[in-house]
Amino acid sequence: MNDNKEFKPYIPAEKITPEFTVTSIIMGVILAVVFGAANAYLGLRVGMTVSASIPAAVISMGVIRVILKKNSILESNMVQTIGSAGESLAAGAIFTMPALFLWAQEGLSEMPSLVEITLIALCGGVLGVLFMVPLRNALIVKEHANLLYPEGTACAEVLLAGEEGGSNASTVFSGMGLAALFKFIVDGIKVIPADVSAAFKSFKGEIGMEVYPALLGVGYIVGPRIASFMFVGSLVGWMVIIPLICLFGPDTVMYPGTTSIISLYTEGGASAIWSTYVKYIGAGAIATGGIISLIKSLPLIISTFRDSMKSMKGSQSTSTARTAQDLPMSFIGLGILAMIVIIWVVPAIPVNLLGAAIIVVFGFFFATVSSRMVGLIGSSNNPVSGMAIATLLIATFAIKATGDTGITGMTGAIAIGSVICIVAAIAGDTSQDLKTGYLLGATPKKQQIGELIGVIAAGLAIGGVLYLLNNAWGYGGAEVPAPQATLMKMIVEGIMGGKLPWTLVFVGVFLALGLEILRIPVMPFAIGLYLPIYLNATIMIGGVIRWLLDNRKGVDEKTKSQQSTDGTLYCAGMIAGEGLVGILLAILAVVNVGGYLDLSGKVNFGNIGGVVLMIVMILSLLKFSIWKKKKA
């Protein structure tokens, strides 16, 4: 049943209010760059990003309504539309493009140029928006009653609750400020260690936590269920697999290690065993989890694409109403053609005509699938990683079939995978934003232009961020492990004939298959296995706090819901704050200034200081959630 004829947006079509203004564009661009950089840093550390739509919305409402004294909900919506594009583009870019840096570190290729990274990001982002625009009337309008777009609807509800805008914005800013301070204490002046750990020498296991506000925030946002799966993955890796490796093969020299296992442990502890062996088991499990999620979604993907194509037939709106105006199809067609020509012709992008054809076919297919699936199951459940792995497999096999099995073929495959990953991420984000606009009564054409502006702003910045983080710490290490990109690199190398420890990879594959049979979510467990236990333990602490707050007795559901939202906004602010200080510290490291801040040689509070700081961070979260004072 279709009830879109009866639907009336908050701002009627005939009413004209400020929307696409200088204020909204400037604020949106700033937030696109800020949240794009912060999410790039977060994703490269923990393998996941968080949505920027609601934090961007509350910040814009706080500034526009409270500081500028303007009452313009569509202006605030434009800010979050532009701002959220940065987070989505960063998510697509960091899952693939650091592989190019890793090959350069190994001496297999030249370092990717800023022009290459920027053009790949821009082409993927622009294609993601343009592929989605023709679907708007079919998915957002005609399927309004059936496709809920959870994040887009939630963002609309936040914007409609305008009277709370100033209070909510202050919560986000408080999270940003305090997290920046916490991060600076740990990684700037270094008077408190980043890791608090306990090693069991006789057992060869290890456990601990990282004292970082963003990890606590991620755990709170994803909730206890996902956090627990990630933590159990780490427990299996660090308290089961590592002790077993040390028990059964202490004198063995096993590839990819070059010394005996016991020597490796003596020199580097459990971390050395994890980085040499367990990471490959985790990578096998992650790849299998991505493919499983894609296979399980296949019936939905096929029906989604079929239904979208049916809906598009004759669905182009003929209405001249403000709320029915899209970018013209001539602009869409020329824009798509221009992006494909750039991908094929520009020498900086290592993609040939075959690669450009793969991008057209899979780009439109996965953009269509992503746009509809986020409406059904939400952005967090959208199998973008599975889509990227599937594209990478097909692209790599296709390139190998042409005889190009060297590094040029591998970089070409990663470039294709990068564009498709960004296309899928941006198409999903655009759909959520257009749903928000549909509920509020925004002008679709203006929102679509806003998406393009956000994509361009973030695309121009992402290359610098990736270069900065690589120059400061290098990908694949403890600071920025870049889990998905490392996995994509392994997949391409494996298909092209590169030497991989296949036994370890297949252990991860069959471990993932066993978990799937037991109906345990594979992906969070696999990410937990792939990443250090210290990191996942802190995420688990955040999840436990969320569980305790959500299961309190004697508190009504409305209060719990409001306090949970306050906590989420504070945690989103913490993630952004830590990310920005992480970027700042990377700049200082590159210009060789960071060492002057280091006070660890003079003052170091040790593990006790780390525990105390973690308690302070937890108390700050409680202060801005359950202890937050409401205005009368």
199 by DSSP, 3-state: which? Answer: strand
CA nearest neighbour of 78 among 99, 57, 59, 63 = 57
Contact (CB, 8 A) for 216 and 226: no
CA distance 214 to 99: 24
Give the range among 61-70, 91-100, 129-138, 203-212 with minimum mean pLDDT: 61-70
Summarize pLDDT for 84-96 with one digit per residue, the tens.
Answer: 999 899 988 998 9
d(CA 429, CA 97): 20
H or E element in which residue 458 lies:
helix 444-472
pLDDT in tens, 351-367: 888 899 999 888 988 88
Q: Where are the domains of the chain?
A: 22-165+286-484
Note the pLDDT of residue 58: 83
Phi-psi region of 531 (alpha: psi -120 to 50; beta: other; left: phi over 0): beta
C-alpha separations of 172 from 59, 79, 153, 573, 575 in Å? 7, 16, 20, 4, 10
pLDDT at 2: 45
Q: For residue 173, give every residue at least 6 positions away whose Cβ sits within 8 Å of its Cβ, in sequence order, or none.
A: 59, 62, 573
**What pLDDT, on a 0 to 100 scale, did the predictor assign at position 305?**
73
Burial letters for 425-438: b for 16+ Cβ neighbours within 10 Å, e otherwise? bbbbbbbbbbbbbb
Residue 574: φ, ψ to 5°: -60, -40
Other CB atoms within 10 Å distance of the CB of residue 313: 8
Q: How far is CA 369 from the centre of its chain?
A: 18
pLDDT in tens, 525-578: 988 898 889 989 999 999 999 999 999 988 888 889 889 888 988 998 898 888
Place of tokens 């824009």: 335
CA distances for 417 relative to 363, 413, 463, 470, angstroms: 10, 6, 17, 20
Question: What's the confidence (pLDDT) of residue 318?
Answer: 57
**Percent of the chain residues topping a pLDDT of 70:** 94
Within 13 A of 85's CA, how many CA atoms are on the CB side?
Answer: 38
pLDDT at 316 over 70: no
Q: Does the structure show a pLDDT above 90 at 320? A: no
Residue 383 has a pLDDT of 67
How buried is 606 (Cβ within 10 angstroms: 0-12 exposed, 13-18 middle, 19+ buried)?
A: exposed
- What pLDDT sits at residue 381? 62
pLDDT of residue 314: 55
Q: Encode 609-629 in three state secondary structure.
A: HHHHHHHHHHHHHHHCCCCCC
Residue 315 — very low, low, confident or very high, per pLDDT cuts 50/70/90?
A: low
Interval 449-488: pLDDT, tens: 999 999 999 999 999 999 999 999 899 887 888 888 988 8
Dump pLDDT digits (tens) for 489-515: 988 988 887 677 889 989 999 999 999
Average pLDDT, the chain: 87
Structure tokens at 300: 């939905």
Digit-coded pLDDT (tens) for 350-406: 888 889 999 988 898 888 888 888 887 777 666 677 788 888 888 898 898 888 888
| pLDDT attached to residue 416 | 93
627 has a pLDDT exceeding 90: no
Residues 300 and 221: their CA atoms lie apart, in Å, by 27
Q: How far apart are CA 482 and CA 423, in angstroms?
A: 20
Note the pLDDT tens digit of each residue in 142-170. Answer: 888 888 888 888 888 888 876 454 567 78
Q: What is the pLDDT of residue 632?
A: 43
Instruction: Tell whether pTM > 0.95.
Output: no
Average pLDDT value for residue range 219-227 = 90
Q: What is the pLDDT of residue 141?
A: 86
For range 412-421, the mean pLDDT: 93
pLDDT at 407 over 80: yes
| CA nearest neighbour of 29 among 60, 69, 50 | 60
